[in-house]
Amino acid sequence: MHIVDLIAAKRDGHAVSADDLHQLILGYTANDIPDYQMAAFLMAGYLRGFTYDETAALTDAMLASGDQLDLSPLSGPTVDKHSTGGVGDSTTLVVAPLAAELGMQIIKLSGRGLGFTGGTLDKLESIPGMRTQLTTNELIAQVGRIGLAVCAQTSDLVPADRAMYALRDVTATVGNIALIASSIMSKKLAGGAQSILLDVKAGSGAFMKTTDDARALARVCVALGKSRGRATRAVITDMSQPLADTVGNAIEVREAIEVLRGNRQSRFVDLCLALVGHLAALSGAAADVETGQERAAHALRSGAGLDRFRRLIEAQGGDPRVVDDTSLLPMAPIVHDIHAQQDAWLATVDTEAIGRGSGALGAGRETLDDVIDPAVGLALHAKIGDRLRRGEVMGTILARSEEEARVGEDAVLGALGWSDRPVDAPPLIYDVVDDAEVRLA
């Protein structure tokens, strides 16, 4: 294969063979193909699109670029859950302990926050002492013992994705369904779980701004998972506003602990229970989604989920006392309330702007080398459809200084749209995709 011919073929809209894609990806991972040629190929593909067969070949080639976890020492059912990324999306912190409590073995390989989206590893590392780098042996032993592990992907798993994702990030080629699907599914397949549940977000705080795009991405991911022998399902969920009330790191852990204490009702809680229900049904841990959901709700009320979270923290070297005393988590010095500016209904939220606002306070990063501050963040208690009275406290900023708090407040207020008429709350779950029908170019 001549790499220039391959780039030209993609540029001119011709299909590229699976063999050529394998050579491209493996050559790039081995540093035999330079960034500028891969960048040209990615842009050609971004503009021209990829067929389903090309997407599958990209996925297989990325998978073949590194190791795959062998979960055969586990008795199962092994499950994995993946969110395509959002704002205030700390479902893993609640879903993983509940899934383990229902008898599933959950291996959650998570990432760090980037741009406007948060990352589970950053949130967990706000717990004093918590380790997120586990060796494969530690990971398998921990899941065998307590049913769950939440940790970083080891460097030998899908190295092609790490290199390509970094390149896509700086060449404006992230937002392509085939590239996103092959990136996500190569990592999920390498993670080895028998059942894979994808939480594909749609809305102003997601990669996919519309439910149609989210559905298209979900279909490709489900087809890739199923055709490679994994039980795979996707739920399309709302990200037209932050999912939980809080956005940041320690502040999201605090909210997750409150949820696991069993005395909260919110869209966030409802989605966590639904996700556990789907995982249970998909993996055979429950007869159907509803039964799984009821058992998860019981594990929340009984405190069993919280106990499982405590064991997770203990197993990964964290201070388990945070579960009973959240004041042990890092806390910013300035706590600044945000007040509603008018009597009105909350109609729209620019969720990406809220994520960027939290990032500007220090809770996020623009490049993976930036250092985050686990103590800062924000809370927005109002949801779309809520009626607020002028002066009512609707949120809080946790900041390092009064000045940063004011900038954070402006970011939140600027992200909200109001109506003087009642507004309907958006659905929480738009769709469930578990057929493998694919519509790609």
The active-site residue out of 112, 123, 162, 168 is 168
From the candidates 10, 22, 81, 82, give the one annotated as an active-site residue.
82
Q: Indicate if 168 belongs to the active site.
A: yes
DSSP state of 204: T
Closest to ligand URA by CB, 212 vs 337, is 212
Cα 175 from Cα 346, distance rounded (Å): 29
82 an active-site residue? Answer: yes
183 annotated active-site: yes
Helix 91-101 crosses helix 267-283 at what angle (to 10 degrees)? 40
* Chain contacts with ligand URA (rule: CB under 6 A): 84-85, 165, 174, 179-180, 183-184, 207
212 is an active site residue: no
Q: How far is it, in rounded angstroms, from Cα 272 to Cα 295?
A: 12
- State the Cα–Cα distance between residues 83 and 85, nearest whole angstrom: 5
Please state, in angstroms and rounded to a whole number, the distance separating the CA atoms of residues 41 and 25. 11
Strands 416-419 and 429-433: unpaired
Alpha-carbon gap, residue 290 to 431, rounded angstroms: 16
Q: Three-state DSSP class for 399?
A: strand
- State the minimum distance, in angstroms, from the CB of residue 221 to ligand URA: 11
Residue 85 or 242 having the CB closest to ligand URA? 85
Distance of CA 117 to the CA centre of its chain: 8
Under DSSP, is residue 193 helix (H, G, I), strand (E, B) or coil? coil
Q: Which residue has the tokens 């395509």?
A: 84
> What's the CA gap between 406 and 412, in Å, rounded?
10
C-beta closer to ligand URA: residue 40 or 180? 180
Residue nearest to ligand URA according to CB distances in the complex: 183
Between residues 50 and 207, which has the closer beta carbon with respect to ligand URA?
207
Q: How far is the CB of 183 from ligand URA (least distance, A)?
A: 3
Q: Which of 187, 201, 230, 311 is catalytic?
A: 187
Q: How far is the CB of 161 from ligand URA (least distance, A)?
A: 7
> In sequence order, what are the beta bridge partners of 198?
82, 234
Amino acid symbol at 343: D
Nearest to 259 by CA among 374, 98, 428, 82: 98
CB 341, CB 392: distance < 8 Å: no
As measured in angstroms, the least distance from the Cβ of 186 to ligand URA is 9
The Cβ of residue 60 has, within 10 Å, a number of other Cβ atoms equal to 20
Indicate which residues carry an active-site annotation: 82, 161, 168, 183, 187
